[in-house]
Every structure is written in structure tokens, then in C-alpha cells.
Chain A
Amino acid sequence: MMMHFKNAKLYDIIETSIMRQADWRWAWLAVILFFGTALVPVFGAEAVQPSNGHVIPKETDGPVGPKTPQDHSKFKQLQGPFTSPEQVTQACLSCHTQAAKQVMSTIHWTWKAWNPHTQQMVGKNEVYNTFCVSPISNEQFCTVCHVGYGSTDPNKFIPFDQRAEDHVDCLVCHDQSKTYRKIPFIGGNPAMAKIAVRPGCNEVYGTDKPYVEPEDLAAIAQHVGAPTRYTCGICHFYGGGGDGVKHGDLDSSLNNPPHSLDVHMDAKGLNFPCQKCHESSDHHISGEHYAIDAAPKPAAYMRGYAHNGNAATCQSCHGQAPHKAGNQQSSLVASTLNMHTRDIACETCHIPQYSRGGLPTKTNWNYATAGKLAPNGSPLVIMDKHGWNTYWGVKGSFAWAENVVPEYRWFNGTERWLHVGDKTHPDARGVVEVNSIEGSPTDGQSKIWPFKISRNNQPYDPVRATLLVFHSFGFDKDSYTMSYDWQRSITAGMKAAKLPYSGQYQFVKTQMYWPIAHMVAPKSQALSCTQCHADNGRLQNIDGVYIPGRARDHQTWIERIGLLMVALAFAGVLIHGLIRIGLWLYRR
């Protein structure tokens, strides 16, 4: 209640200052027209800083969240012992009666979302990606990141809609002990006994040992609280098969980031947990890749307003005119920057590079080269000079990068996904876009956004013109990681997906857009003018804009004729002057 009140007050102040900013040009016009030279004082003008405008409520408790009036370790229901994770969920539900119903209605459980703009069903099982391609036929591995418990039999996947409420995994999000681990191939269950695992896969198992210990579920259940960057990150930082692989702007460096990596998550500063921006209620988390608000409208999504929709945008807190005049910039600079916000997403200037936390992201993957074995018969592994894994026999070859400059596109928030089984042909570049982004400079809905574009070269059915689903992970002979046989794994994958397969496969280049929204840098590191206002600047390939300083925007004939006339004028003046002087000297 207290927090809410503080928030409301804060955003009222911000709102007032936004309105002030919005009216600047009319105010100026009035000044110019009626007072003429009264313009001059604008040079030194300083916007009035709201005296308490920067009071941002701070967690008192670190990333754990506000102190709660209950201590879960004292609850009788949580004393254990628990012999299955479902028993923990039952204990949770004995107080939090609606929690499982809520979770089961969210995308974290269903892996499904409806995209009203494209009238498409989207979600992990509905679309392709350019990493492991599809969870279909690989669910017992992939459900390591599902908020539920399935069968512990590696070969038996229970569909989510056939699971009872006590199969919701509360602990993966609410564990505060940082010890809870879901183990691959057992349907998203934690280890209940000592399990042998591949040594050296710390990212997956949380240990370098060749086994994992059974979880002490009672100890974890007694230490639950609001989700933290760690709990969200245990899945979202490792998407695509490892730390930082998928997103580029999300990796484990955000567990404890310095100010230079992310000003909001800065562990020694604001220390925001994920849900500070991804505001959630009833277990619904705002802000997701399938529902992006690319150009939030003023006030509509401000925190503290009744109609707050998708609150996970920069504008939710900062508004549409966030640049303030002050010691660092004059009011003219601030208002010029505020005009940029109409066409340019905040992220474009304020996330100058992604993967800045010392971890690389996977930019390119090539399945076509997979299958090579080392002399000892295990899959070949090649590391480059950075220690980055550039080849792995079970997956193919990879390219990695850190401190990556994003690619920029007009984007209105709508992504059109290639649905599993959709017919598709490579475009003029020979590329299949797994998701295509919509946007244009003229639709009034788009802004220039930064993207990571991840690329792959993945199996494709040239006869049926579909991207292929294949069975990568499993302990059976059909899985690619066991048999290195594309034909078998594709046949098994397509069968599981209930899709026709011609029996022929080839590899086709694919790409996938990932909007960049995390790793917001300090303002001193935001893009400077000439990073775009120059030839071959960051926005070199953006159409529909006129960027002073970008030669491709010049009109060739105006430049040619203009320069020629100027040159002729110089020459004419020079010749005229020389004749004058010469004849004057002659006359003397």
C-alpha cells in the first residue's frame, strides 16, 4: 500500500513534466513572435527540476523483495520431509489456493499465446527458432524450463493440459536459496535421488561433478519469496542451450551486474528485480516477446494509471519526453532528444551494445556441419582462443560475439511467426525468416528498434517447403545426439509434430529477430549524435528518414550543381579580380 502510494506520487510528478516538455515548441513560437529578442535568455534556461522527482523506491532487502510479514520456515506445512516435488506444490496450494490455476493460465505453463495482430497461435511448440529449432519430440529435455513437473521417464512426455494442479513448479521461480535445479530428461523434475550426469555441464546441472545430489525440498520450501533475477535467469539467461546463447541482452552477468552493464539492475544501485519492469499480477508477467509494445502511446501505459496495459516498457516509468534540461544539457538539447523519442525506441540509443557483461552470445549456428566425432568416439569439441565453443559434434558449428552492435529496423511490435509446418521458400538472399518483423516509417506505429539477429543453417524439406522439426535430445536411437543420423531424427521429429515429411532434407539459412531491451547503459554511454548522423553510421541502412550528414540522403544533382556553381563563382571572382588588378597595374 505504501509502495503504491509512493509510486502514484512519483508518476504524477513525471507526468506533469512531460506535459511541460510537450508544449515547448508552441511556447517558443509565442516567445519568438511576440518578444523577438527575448529568445536570448533561452540560452541559459534550465528546466525546473522537481525537487523530489528522483525518489525511486528502493528495496530494503536486496533482490529478494520487500520484507514480508510471514516466515515460511515456520510454517508447519513446509517442515517436510517431501518425497516428491508435487508434495511441495500441494503444501503451497494449501494456503495459496488460486496460485496453480493462475500459473496454468499463463504462457509459462501453456507455452501458447495468441497474437491478435497476425491472428496466429504462437508459443514454443507453435513456432520455430534458430537454436534447437523446436521443443517438439524433445520435450523431456526442454521442459527443464517449463514451470511444471512431468514424467521422470525420459521417453514419456505428458502434455501440459493433462497435468494436475500439483504439477505446477512453484520452487523454480520462488526459491531464494539458489540451490533448486530442474534436471533435463526427467520432465522438469528436480533430482530426488543421486543422478549421474555429464560432467562439466555446470550451466545445465549447477555442478561440475559427474552426478547431482538429491534436492532438500523442505529446506528450499522454507526459503521462498518473490522471484529474483537469479530465479528468472535460471531459465531466461540460458535459453538456446547455454549462458547468453539466445538473447544477447540476457545472460548470467545480470545476476550481479555493475552500473555500467545495466543501470536498473545495478546490484549496488537500484538493484531492480525483473518484475520491477515486468510488473505482474495473478502470476501473469507483463512484457513478452510475443506481445511487444514497440511504440507506447503517452500516458496510456504509465504506472499508477488504471489502464496500464503492458507496463514493461521504458515509457511506463520514463514517459515520452524523458530528457530533462539541466547541468548536463541545455533545454534545446533535451527537447531535440525528446523529439527523437517519437521515431526512435529508447533502447536504440541507450543499449549501445549487447552482451556487454563479459559473456558472448551465439550469433550463428550451422547444423550442416554437425556429426564429427573426436578420435575417442565422443562428439568433437572445438574451442577458439577466447575459450568459446565453436564446434560441437552434436550441434554443429557456432559463431559467438560480445559487445555486439545491434542491427536496426523499423518495428511496430508485430512479429509474424512462421508456424510449425507452414510452407516457406528462401527469400532473394536465400534466407528463411523464422519470424519477420513489421514496421515502416509511415505507419505511425513504428520506431527504429535494435535487434539481435541470430542466424542458423538448419534442416529444410525442399519438396514440401517446410522447415523441419527433428528429434535432437533423448536417450533413444532416433535422437540426433545419440545416432548423428539426420534422416532418423527428422523422421522422428516430424512424426511427433504430426507433420508430413517428404524424406528429403537439405540445409537452409534461417534468421530470427530478437528485440534488444535489456542491458541499459548509463546515460554517459548512450549513443552520441555522430554514431548515426554520419556516413556509414549505425542507421546507414534505415529507410524513410533524412539524416543530416548521411550522404545517401543527399540529392545528387543538387550537390553536383551546387558545388559546381560555387566553384564557378570562385573561379569567376578570381579571374575577374586578377584582370582588374592586372590592368590596374598596367595602367599605372
Chain B
Amino acid sequence: MAELRIYLFKRFERFWHWSQAALIITMLYTGFAIHGYLGGFEFKTLLLIHEYAAWLLITLWTFAIFWHFTTGEWKQYIPTFQKIALVARHYAWGMFRGEPHPFHQTPKRKHNPLQRLAYLWLMLMINPLIWVSGLLLLFFSYDWILLSSLGLYLNEVAWVHTAAAYMMLLFFIAHVYLSTTGHTPLAYIRAMVTGWETSEDEPQDKSPSSAGV
């Protein structure tokens, strides 16, 4: 059984991923606490953490966007429907039978077609919604009259922020679970930490046990 090692995630990418993860978890928690659903901290503390985390995340995203465009990594998220049915079948069926993943990662194509769609949804839908609604709330909550001439209503912008937060939570749950679906449960997570993806040499390995530890 030959093992393939690919250097998939560069240092900045890994820093970006994990700091973003920490910030998003923080913001989800504090956000839903401010929303009235979670407790544990004083409101003032929650609000401050949420706002500071927001600024840090915006800063991080600014660098990440810069990084994606200067390195050309943004192309990783161009959607493709090639093999998409095959990948979907794998998650719905093949994975249970211990079949190997039909998609093979390379540094040029890190993400399978479903991942591409999911990340694109995150980056083009959830993130902008949260950014824009959050910044409007941060700056204009108390000066809303300035924006009402643009046809923006405070409560509607707040609802967009909430809806985007639910989408983010949804993404988070699915993302965390799917990170355990590598050839071992920790394989993907390890790759995200070290940068090195290890995978079985697929054509020679038909053993059903490959899905397990």
C-alpha cells in the first residue's frame, strides 16, 4: 500500500483557516448570545468580543483576498460540475461501503466539485451578507435615518445578518463533520494542520477497511 504525500495547504492558508475558524466560532457564540439564545457572559462582554472579532476577521479576510488573487489560488473555487454526481454518490453511498473517494486532490485542484460549490457559497453568499449587514449595523445603528433614504430598514438589515449567521452555522456543522470523512477520521484535519495530505494509492487499494482507522 503506497502512501501519497502532497503539500496541499501552504503556511498562510493554514494560518488563515485556523484563525478564521477560531474567530467564526467566537462570533457564532457571541452572536447567538447577543441574539438572546445563549448565555454565560455579560452582554457588554459579548458585544465587545463580537466587535473586536469582527474587526480581526475583516482584517484577516482582507489579507486572504489579497493572497488569493496574488497567488492565483482563487481559481480553486471556480465551480465545476465534472464528476459532481460521482462525488455526491460517494457521500451518499460509497463512503458507507468503504469505497475510496472518487476525487483525487492535487495542489492545483484541492477541492472536489462539491467543496468548490460549498466554499463558493460561503465566500460569495454568506460572507458578503455578513460583512455588509454587520458593518452597516456597526456604523449606522444609531444613525439609521441616514440610510432610510436608501430604502434600507434597520430591522431588515438585522434580519439579513441573522439569516447569514444561520447559514454560517449550517456551514460550520457540515464542514466540521465532513472534515472527519478522509481515509481516516483525522486525515483531513491533520492535513490542515501540517499542510501535508496523505492518501492511499487508490488504484491498488480495494480493501473495504480503508475507511477505518
Contact = CB atoms under 8 A, between A and B. Distances in A.
Interface in A559-578: 559, 561-563, 565-566, 569-570, 573, 576-577
A267 to B, nearest CB: 32
B170 A569 contact: yes
A95 interface: no
Contact of B96 (A340, A530, A579): A579
B170 A565 contact: yes
B155 A577 contact: no
Contacts of B170: 565-566, 569
Given A442-B145, A548-B35, A584-B212, A558 B166 contact: yes
B142 A343 contact: yes
B34 A549 contact: yes
Query: Which range contains the number of A residues in contact with the other chain?
Result: 35 or more
Contact of B36 (A340, A442, A549, A583): A549
A577 B177 contact: yes
Give the most central of B44, B47, B97, B169: most A CB within 10 Å: B44
B141 to A, nearest CB: 7
A37 B59 contact: yes
B43 A25 contact: no
Interface in B153-184: 154-155, 158-159, 162-163, 165-166, 169-170, 173-174, 177, 180-181
B56 interface: yes
Contacts of A25: 139
Nearest to A35: B59
A546 B142 contact: no
Interface residues of B, number: 45
A393 B87 CA distance: 88
A587 B98 contact: yes
Contacts of A444: 145
A342 B97 contact: no
B208 interface: yes
Interface string A174-209: 000000000000000000000000000000000000
A583 B212 CA distance: 10
A5 interface: no
Contacts of B209: 587-588
B52 A36 contact: no
Interface in A518-547: 528-530, 533-535, 545-546
B55 A32 contact: yes
A528 B45 CA distance: 12
A333 B55 contact: no
A84 interface: no
A545 B170 CA distance: 28
Contacts of B155: 546, 553, 555
A268 interface: no
Nearest to B48: A332
B190 to A, nearest CB: 19
A580 B95 contact: yes
Nearest to B177: A573
B148 interface: yes
Interface on chain B toward A: helix, strand, loop, or mixed SS?
A: helix
Contacts, number: 111
A342 B209 CA distance: 65
Contacts of B165: 562
Contact of A534 (B36, B159, B166): B36
A551 interface: yes
B13 interface: no
A39 interface: yes
Nearest to A43: B52
Interface string B109-131: 00000000000000000000000
B158 to A, nearest CB: 5
Contacts of B59: 32, 36-37, 39
A9 interface: no
B52 A530 contact: no
Given A332-B51, A548-B34, A558 B162 contact: yes
Contact of B159 (A39, A333, A555): A555
Given A43-B52, A442-B145, A546-B154, A570 B173 contact: yes
Contacts of A336: 47
B191 interface: no
Contacts of B212: 584, 587-588
Contacts of A551: 36
B44 A583 contact: no
B84 interface: no
Contacts of B142: 339-340, 342-343
B62 interface: yes
Interface string B51-81: 1100110110011000000000000000000
A297 interface: no
A330 B49 CA distance: 12
B173 A569 contact: yes
Contacts of B181: 580
A554 B97 contact: no
B174 A573 contact: yes
Given A36-B62, A570-B173, A562 B163 contact: yes
A550 interface: yes
Contacts of A333: 44, 48
A333 B52 CA distance: 11
A342 B62 contact: no
Interface in A498-533: 528-530, 533
27 contacts: A32-B59, A39-B55, A330-B48, A342-B142, A529-B42, A529-B43, A545-B154, A546-B141, A546-B155, A549-B36, A550-B36, A554-B35, A555-B155, A555-B159, A555-B163, A558-B159, A558-B163, A562-B166, A565-B166, A577-B177, A579-B96, A580-B181, A580-B211, A587-B208, A587-B209, A587-B212, A588-B209
Given A442-B145, A546-B141, A579-B96, 4 more contacts: A549-B36, A569-B174, A573-B174, A588-B212
Give 5 nearest A-B pairs by CB, closest first.
A562-B166, A529-B43, A339-B142, A573-B177, A555-B159
Interface of A: 25, 32, 36-37, 39, 43, 330, 332-333, 336, 339-340, 342-343, 442, 444, 528-530, 533-535, 545-546, 548-551, 553-555, 558-559, 561-563, 565-566, 569-570, 573, 576-577, 579-580, 583-584, 587-588
